[in-house]
Amino acid sequence: MEIVVCIKQVPDTATVRFDREKGTIIREGVQSIINPSDLHALEAGLSLRDELGGKVTVITMGPPQAESALRDALSLGADEAILLSDRAFAAADTLATTYTLLKAIQKIGLPDLILCGTHAIDGDTAQVGPGLAARLGWPSITQVAGLEILDTGTRFLVKRLIEQGYEMVEVELPALLTCHKSLNRPRVPSLKAKMRARKADIPVWGHEDLGADSGKIGIKGSPTWVDSTFVPAFEAKREMLEGSPDEQVDALIVRLKESGLL
């Protein structure tokens, strides 16, 4: 089975700090990591390959330093990695990103399966996976929390999370799935793969390599733009309720009704 996994390098939100005046992330000293749910997509790809054979190719669009995320993916056992990096790709919104990913996947050759994370922890749009599927005209199944192989790998029975519970969906390949963190437990890197990864040759493709229409990539291809960013103010009001527990409950109910919560 030929599998493409799309990953994104993001700042580690566990260590991230904000510049409250400028309303931006302080990037200095913040580690970059593979977006958490992308690790579950990669794990899904690797275990499908381990079971069915084939190849896992990992791609990412990002600045040159995103190469380290690809080396991490190779250390986990991915077979190949490709970096999509070009100044012309910069400031892409999800529309331009899905176009760029589409061109790259067409250049690689259409796989049987594309796996993405559910959403990136920085932008948090959850649009790139489904957007890419739309461009391909492929079925897209989001929030995948379970996966069963049917008919030796031509179809999957997929468990997908919805707000009220879950749905079981049958899908014929090719398809695109976005993987939820409850799908699996990502593996750790192996020493042998890590040694291979350190020396691996990671091709870098720019817009010319992709034959991409320069009006559809980067900031030019992005109808959405960021107007401003700010750190939301968090103002908590505190009020101590007096009296017996019953009186306090009554007082609390009054306040909840006043604020329209009850």
Partner 1 sequence: MAEVNYFLNEEQQMIVELTRQLAREKIIPVRARLDEQEEFPWDLVKDFAQADLFGLFIPEEYGGLGGGCFEMCLALEQLAYGCVGVTTTYAASALGGYPILLFGSDEQKQRYLPDIAAGAKLAAFGLTESTAGSDAAAIQTTAVEEGDYWVLNGSKQWITSGGEAEIYTIIAMTDRHKGPRGASAFIVEKGDPGFSFGKKEKKMGIRASSTTELFFDNCKIPKDRLLGRRGMGFIIAMRTLDQARPGIGAMGVGLAQAAMDEAILFARQRVQFGQPVIAFQAIQHMLADMATEIEAARALVYAIARTIDTGIKDMAKLSAMAKLFATDMAMKVTTDAVQVMGGHGYMADYPVEKMMRDAKILQIYEGTNQIQKNVIGQALNKEYAKKA
Region from 123-131, 148-156, 186-194, 232-240 binding partner 1, contact rule CB under 8 A: 186-194
Structure-token pair, residue 125: 């749009």
For partner 1 (CB under 8 A), the number of binding residues is: 10
* Candidate segments 82-90, 104-112, 194-202, 219-227, binder of partner 1 by CB under 8 A: 194-202
Residues 6+ apart with CB under 8 A from 10: 32, 33, 34, 35, 120, 121, 122
Contact of 102 with 84, CB cutoff 8 Å: no
Nearer to partner 1, 36 or 123 (CB): 36
Q: How many CB atoms lie within 10 A of CB 110?
A: 12
Q: Is 194 in the site for partner 1 (CB under 8 A)?
A: yes
Q: What is the DSSP letter of 174?
A: S
Strand ranges (E), 70-181: 80-84, 113-117, 140-150, 155-162, 165-172, 175-179
Using the rule CB under 8 A, give the single segment among 53-61, 81-89, 183-191, 216-224 that binds partner 1.
Answer: 183-191
Q: 198, 220, 255, 257: which one contacts partner 1 (CB under 8 A)? A: 198
Binding partner 1 by CB under 8 A: which of 55, 155, 187, 196? 187
Minimum distance from residue 198 beta carbon to partner 1 (Å): 7
- CA atoms within 13 Å, Cβ hemisphere of 15: 10
Among 13, 15, 154, 190, binds partner 1 (CB under 8 A): 190
Candidate residues 195, 231, 241, 252; the one interacting with partner 1 per rule CB under 8 A:
195
Cα(35)–Cα(122) distance, rounded to whole angstroms?
A: 9
Contact 181, 161 (CB under 8 A): no
- The minimum distance between CB 190 and partner 1, in angstroms, equals 5
* CB of 45 vs partner 1, minimal distance in Å: 15
- List binders of partner 1 among 71-130 (CB under 8 A): none
Name which position in 17, 192, 220, 257 contacts partner 1 (CB under 8 A): 192
Q: Strands (DSSP E) along the chain, which ranges?
A: 2-6, 9-11, 17-19, 24-26, 32-34, 55-61, 80-84, 113-117, 140-150, 155-162, 165-172, 175-179, 204-205
Piece of 128-136, 171-179, 189-197, 209-217 that binds partner 1 (CB under 8 A): 189-197
From CA 19, how far away is CA 16, in angstroms rounded? 10
Q: Given the rule CB under 8 A, which residues bind partner 1?
A: 185, 187-192, 194-195, 198
